[in-house]
Amino acid sequence: MRFDGNGLEILERGECLALMGSVPVGRVVFTDRALPAIQPVNFVLDGEDVIIATAPGSKLAAATRGTIVAFEVDAFDVGDEVGWSVTVLGEARAVQDKWEIDGLSRLPLHSWIPGLHDRFVRIQSEVVTGRRIHPTMLEARP
């Protein structure tokens, strides 16, 4: 195991992706009218890429066409003070290809928000980083 300067475990890319696949909701960070914006979204992984379904004409779909975004997922147990966080940086693009849309439509991606969500955004996982705090680290605290 490797640790950062704060004593948090540094996660390898493969473990980060496995942890990402264990939760249905993350947050995408993008620019909206020249200001930072964060939006929680349902997602799935397609290989190593993050897939988000969105509504036609949505702010998220418009703001993520060919731009670099951040995507973050995490899980924490507040009572035990343990958890992990994974961040992906990469280019987001609106999926336009009919064959790709057909394939993505078969993924287990279900939006919690009512309405039609038949547009897809693909975020390429160019940089993947993660950190974890777990019980053995807590035992070392003064």
Domains of the chain and any CATH numbers: 2-139 (2.30.110.10)
CA 83 to chain centre: 16
Give the amino acid at 21. Answer: G
In this prediction, residue 15 carries a pLDDT of 97
Global pTM reads: 0.85
In this prediction, residue 90 carries a pLDDT of 95
In this prediction, residue 139 carries a pLDDT of 55
In this prediction, residue 23 carries a pLDDT of 94
The rounded distance, in Å, linking the Cα atoms of 119 and 102 is 11
The rounded distance, in Å, linking the Cα atoms of 19 and 3 is 18
In this prediction, residue 63 carries a pLDDT of 65
In this prediction, residue 115 carries a pLDDT of 58
- Please give the average pLDDT of every successive group of 10 residues along the chain, which has 142 residues: 87 97 94 88 94 79 79 92 95 87 78 68 95 70 48
In this prediction, residue 114 carries a pLDDT of 58
In this prediction, residue 21 carries a pLDDT of 93
> Can you say whether the dihedral through the CA atoms of 6, 7, 10, 16 is positive or negative?
negative
User: In angstroms, what CA-CA distances link 73 with 31, 53, 60, 98, 141?
Assistant: 19, 16, 17, 29, 26
